[in-house]
């Protein structure tokens, strides 16, 4: 039996999978990884299906010691340095860690959320179909809470088999404004308000967490119907505009219903890169068609399938400049530069 023992971690370190569905009608939001494509990459590198629970690291790093047996790990998402017993590992490359060795993940140099996957996954009890921690609701994760030093995470696999894999290429980043579909309450805004929303630059405030991101920037003007609606359902990525005119984007640990009009919804394909932005980062919104949104999601899924199909044993993975350049492009995810 192999355990991962938490020696140090940031306050937002938790277990996340692809979310918990079917309970929103009772008020429990989906939770799940903030950057689902990144989480799927970490899982792919260790041979897991995309739905396996990973450790989500929020900006801060963490330190773990492996006990009992060996394990295979991989890190994806935010650019965080990974060391095993002090030796730096290559990015997007799985590594086998022996009993007694220390895994050190450093603070994110770029981005916000890193995903540490272990081959075979963690032996945690799913709550309502998922191991994901919903922080506000205190459901899932380890006893309904985030990690604390001293926590011991049992692994399902005692020792990994076969070679460690590495990615030949990182996913090509999408660069540009955050893409949205208007609605459901775009009729609560004046045409000037809509024009502001689709042209202005907004900055992420420090008030950003797994529940949502509060933005600051030019005020979005409401129409004569005001800014209160009879509470309505919320989808992940919904952009609500309360009375002060500054948008709030609702994310994984969001509430399930709300009483502010929602001007638009971030397309699914952009939720990951949005989540990787930090307080102080600025961006603008652009309206796209439903067909564009679906095409973006489909191409993201295809890219993930290719990522998985093109994994190579880490010894054989080329360390040529093209690969390193592609791995560096992870940075492009973050800023949309």
Contact residues for another protein, defined by CB under 8 A: 21-29, 127-128, 136-139, 144, 181-185, 229-238, 255-258, 262, 265-268, 290, 293-294, 297-298, 301
* Cα 121-50-125 angle, rounded to 5 deg: 40
Write down the least CB distance from residue 94 to another protein, Å.
28
Q: Closest Cα partner for 16 from 62, 43, 50, 53?
A: 53
Per-position b or e across 175-208, b if 16+ CB within 10 A of its CB: eebbbbbbebbbebbeeebbebbbebebebeeeb
Residue closer to another protein by CB (options 184, 217) is 184
| CA atoms of 193 and 191, how far apart (whole Å) | 5
Considering the complex, what minimum distance in angstroms separates the CB of residue 182 from another protein? 7
Q: Closest distance between another protein and the C-beta of residue 124, in Å?
A: 14
Please answer whether residues 286 and 259 qualify as being in contact, where contact means their C-beta atoms are separated by less than 8 angstroms: no
Cα–Cα nearest to 78, from 277, 318, 324: 277
DSSP letter string over 305-329? HHHHHT-EETTTS---HHHHHHHHT
Report how far apart, in Å, the C-alpha atoms of 128 and of each of 29, 56, 255 are.
12, 20, 17
Q: Which is nearer to another protein, 11 or 144 (CB)?
A: 144
State the minimum distance, in angstroms, from the CB of residue 75 to another protein.
27
148 vs 298, beta carbon nearer another protein: 298
Our CB check for another protein shows the closer of 71 and 135 to be: 135
Min separation Cβ 77 and another protein, Å: 22
Nearest residue (CB) to another protein, 128 versus 329 = 128
Q: CB nearer to another protein: give 95 or 182.
A: 182
Question: Minimum distance from CB of 191 to another protein (Å)?
Answer: 18
């Amino acid at each position: 039996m192999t355990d991962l023992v938490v020696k140090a971690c940031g306050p937002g370190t938790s277990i996340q999978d692809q979310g918990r569905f079917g309970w929103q009608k009772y008020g429990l939001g989906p939770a799940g990884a903030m950057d689902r494509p990144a989480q799927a990459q970490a899982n792919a590198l260790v041979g897991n299906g995309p739905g396996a629970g990973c450790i989500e690291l929020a900006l801060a790093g963490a330190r773990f010691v492996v006990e009992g047996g060996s394990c295979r790990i991989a890190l994806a998402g935010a650019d965080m340095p990974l060391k095993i017993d002090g030796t730096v590992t290559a990015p997007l490359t799985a590594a086998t860690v022996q009993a007694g060795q220390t895994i050190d993940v450093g603070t994110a140099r770029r981005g916000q959320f890193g995903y540490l996957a272990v081959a075979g996954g963690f032996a945690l009890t799913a709550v309502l179909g998922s191991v994901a921690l919903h922080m506000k609701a205190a459901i899932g994760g380890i006893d309904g809470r985030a990690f604390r030093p001293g926590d011991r995470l049992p692994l399902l696999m005692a020792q990994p088999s076969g070679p460690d894999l590495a990615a030949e290429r990182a996913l090509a980043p999408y660069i540009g404004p955050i893409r949205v579909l208007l609605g459901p309450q775009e009729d609560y805004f004046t045409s000037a308000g809509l024009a502001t929303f689709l042209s202005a630059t907004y900055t992420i405030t420090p008030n950003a967490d797994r529940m949502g991101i509060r933005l600051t920037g030019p005020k979005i003007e409401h129409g004569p119907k005001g800014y209160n609606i009879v509470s309505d359902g919320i989808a992940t990525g919904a952009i609500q505009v309360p009375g002060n005119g500054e948008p709030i984007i609702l994310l994984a640990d969001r509430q399930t219903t709300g009483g502010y009009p929602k001007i638009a919804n971030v397309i699914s394909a952009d939720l990951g890169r949005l989540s990787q932005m930090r307080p102080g980062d600025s961006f603008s919104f652009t309206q796209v068609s439903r067909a564009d949104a679906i095409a973006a999601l489909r191409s993201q899924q295809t890219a993930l399938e290719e990522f998985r199909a093109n994994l190579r044993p880490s010894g054989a993975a080329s360390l040529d400049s093209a690969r390193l350049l592609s791995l560096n492009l992870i940075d492009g995810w973050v800023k949309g530069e």
